[in-house]
Structure 1
Amino acid sequence: MKERLEHLAAEAGVTEPAPGTTQSPAGPPPRTHGGPDADGVPPWDFSVNANACGPCPQAWARVQTAARRHYPDPAYTDLRHRLARQHGVAPSRVLLAASGSEWILRFAAWCAQHAPGPVWWPAPGYGDYAHAAGVWGLVRAPSPAQARAGWLCDPGSPLGQPEDAAVAKALLAAGAPVTLDLAYAPLRLQGDAVPSDAQRARCWQLHSPNKALGLTGVRAAYVIAPQDAPPEQLAELQALAPSWPIGADGVALLTAWTEPSTQRWLEATLATLAQWKAALVQMLRARGWEVAASVTPFLCARPPQPIDAAALRAHGVKLRDATSLGLPGWWRLSAQPPQALQALAQALDAPASAAPTTPTRRRAPR
């Protein structure tokens, strides 16, 4: 299935710049994202990959009581020690990032300085990889074995499928610096991680727990440096970060992430998410949608005929158009509670002329 989807994306010519080409003089194409838009917060939002069981009560409580009156420790000493203990590494291997996207751009800047040449990124995949490469004039390598640097993502987005083991092996065998994006690893519903422990130890492992905790509005991430990363590389990547890359809210979120009660809450949500995902798949297939397999609470699906996203939005429902992710004609949807699924089913079944003008907004979490 994944290979067929990649073929469809390539046929449409919207995956990524061809090897040997550069971005247009106007720069990379505009980035698109799910979630709130000019019309506000969608009452029934299937367009984001956040844990729909959230927000995590433990993390939410910490964020609400964050010490916002003061600067965080600029070295994040306590937080880095907490994260280091969680991962069983030295604190020197923990780097803080404003978000996963910020690290992607930072890593691209560093690669442009120290590993110029073609790079690898997942396609279909998160658009910020290609965007970051384009900003620094980096082009996509013909194959992972020919890349000077790259990104891997396990599981990936938009498909929610495991990283290709052969790609990971070839990219790492080339000795390239690699960021392994693990944003969705905590939400894996089945299967095991594709990169082995030994392979992971050679990557810059990017963690952004706000998705797993259902608090995507809190921007904070961290990176575990490769086991053999020399001190000068750590210093160079640290120097590319702004002062205080994360604020008090982000410190609170990542501190909560290290607590056993938070991990227990997350583990307990996976069974619920699996049930909601199964119900989503059943509803879509009953209406003739083609649904791609995934190991996450989100998936990609293609309707039997084009859908009117504006009409769905008028019903308070938002999906994620996967065109910018490399899959034209497909939509990414996340598992949501039964009430949201019912709203989606009704919106899909309603004639366009029946769209309400002022949908009822879902209340924010308390």
Structure 2
Amino acid sequence: MSGIHGGPDALGVPRWDFSTNANACGPCPMALAAVAGADAQHYPDPGYTALRAALAAFHGVAVERIVVAGSASEFIARITAAVARSGGRRVWLPALSYGDYAHAAKAWGLQRVNDPAQADLLWLCEPASPLGTAEPMANAVAEQGAVVVLDRAYEPLRLSGHGSLGAEALDRVWQLWSPNKALGLTGVRGAYAIAPLRGLAMAQTLAQMAPSWPLGAHAVAMLTAWVQADAQRWLAQSRVQLAEWKTAQRAMLQDSGWQCLPSEANYLCARAPQPLNVEALRARGIKLRDTTSLGLPGHWRLGVLPPAARQALHTALLETTKETSP
């Protein structure tokens, strides 16, 4: 199922939006100031020379390995197209995963397979969405000789645990980074990927397949701020706060009868003790994320929010449950 996402809907921006995984401590002041001061009057450098150099230095890789993208979803579509154009016919996905992986594969006619060894394109995500946990197949998938992409959208928002892949394995896979969630600026679209050591030819192909100026001035400003030390310090401090909020949010849900699943990130999945009145909750400014489209029916994914939002959710759940009780 495509086109299902958290965040604003036809009713506008929810007052208490648990449906997205953006950093609830955001927006990052440094990144927001950079975006506000972006030069929107002129085109960015079409080669993104300074930005790519800054990203490469931040990750300690050669600049040739940096591929900029309009967003994570745009990169997902582009690399899927590149694999299909080169003769790829099969894709492997985690059992639970972001819907755009499957959507792009379907658009290009790639068949989903259960055996990683049979796939031409393989997807990983850690912390995973929707669960926020490690991917059990990560190391086995990273050893495949095909194109492997590790989506690291939530790595900057990891609150516990650690990634499955070591440095050597990371150099064998594509790493997809979309820092707008970590910076609390999901309205600014912009991402980048780090090519594997043996992926420079595909990196050139992906650059050739990109439209002119995939990043606008505001995305360039956000990504430039992302690698600055003050923004990284702010992010580290926000993780401490998010961890405290998460502990309290999990306790509230469990006290209300919800069954919460493990998570290492700034969100968690849970099963409600009874069916939810989604329309009534939305009318109270509450929005949750149904995880059916992510492969987990019967559960809801909830981003970690501040105490006021947690209290609003608790009150709304009590009120809507009373309204639907016989």
Could you tell which deviates more after superposition, 169-178 or 45-54?
Answer: 169-178
Post-superposition offset of 1:160: 0.4
- Deviations 1:30-49, CA, capped at 9 Å, x for gaps: 32000000000000000000
Are the equivalent residues in 2 in contact too, given 1:115–1:149 (CA < 8 A)? no
Aligned residues: 324
Are the equivalent residues in 2 in contact too, given 1:311–1:352 (CA < 8 A)? no
1:216 counterpart residue number = 186
The reply to whether residue 112 of structure 1 matches residue 81 of structure 2 is: no
TM-score, with structure 2 as normaliser: 0.97
Post-superposition offset of 1:169: 2.8
Runs in 1 of length 4+ with deviation above 4 angstroms? 352-355
Secondary structure of the 2:257 match is coil
1:47 counterpart residue number = 19
| Among 132, 149, 152, the residue aligned to 1:182 | 152
Secondary structure of the 1:178 match is strand
1:201 counterpart residue number = 171
The reply to whether residue 240 of structure 1 matches residue 212 of structure 2 is: no
The reply to whether residue 303 of structure 1 matches residue 272 of structure 2 is: yes
The reply to whether residue 277 of structure 1 matches residue 249 of structure 2 is: no
Post-superposition offset of 1:351: 3.4
Change (3 A) 1:353 1:169: closer
- Partners of 1:229 and 1:126 lie apart in 2 by 24
Secondary structure of the 1:206 match is strand
| Among 40, 44, 55, the residue aligned to 1:83 | 55
- Partners of 1:299 and 1:237 lie apart in 2 by 34
Post-superposition offset of 1:147: 1.5
Are the equivalent residues in 2 in contact too, given 1:147–1:171 (CA < 8 A)? no
User: 1:9-88, aligned counterparts within 5 Å?
Assistant: 29-88=1-60
- Deviations 1:297-341, CA, capped at 9 Å, x for gaps: 101000111111111001100000111111111000011000010
Q: Specify the code of the residue in structure 2 equivalent to 1:327.
A: L
Unaligned runs of 5+ in 2: none
Are the equivalent residues in 1 in contact too, given 2:139–2:164 (CA < 8 A)? no
Secondary structure of the 2:112 match is coil
Change (3 A) 1:353 1:314: farther
Are the equivalent residues in 2 in contact too, given 1:155–1:188 (CA < 8 A)? yes
Are the equivalent residues in 1 in contact too, given 2:280–2:320 (CA < 8 A)? no
User: 1:334-345, aligned counterparts within 5 Å?
Assistant: 334-345=303-314
Unaligned runs of 5+ in 1: 1-28, 356-366
- Partners of 1:45 and 1:179 lie apart in 2 by 29
Are the equivalent residues in 2 in contact too, given 1:187–1:297 (CA < 8 A)? yes
2:294 counterpart residue number = 325
- Partners of 2:219 and 2:314 lie apart in 1 by 36
Q: Specify the code of the residue in structure 2 equivalent to 1:113.
A: R
Post-superposition offset of 1:146: 2.1
Are the equivalent residues in 1 in contact too, given 2:2–2:100 (CA < 8 A)? no
Could you tell which deviates more after superposition, 309-318 or 114-123?
Answer: 114-123
User: 1:155-166, aligned counterparts within 5 Å?
Assistant: 155-164=127-136
Q: Specify the code of the residue in structure 2 equivalent to 1:155.
A: P
RMSD: 1.3
Change (3 A) 1:189 1:351: closer
Secondary structure of the 2:68 match is strand
- Partners of 1:115 and 1:185 lie apart in 2 by 31
1:124 counterpart residue number = 96
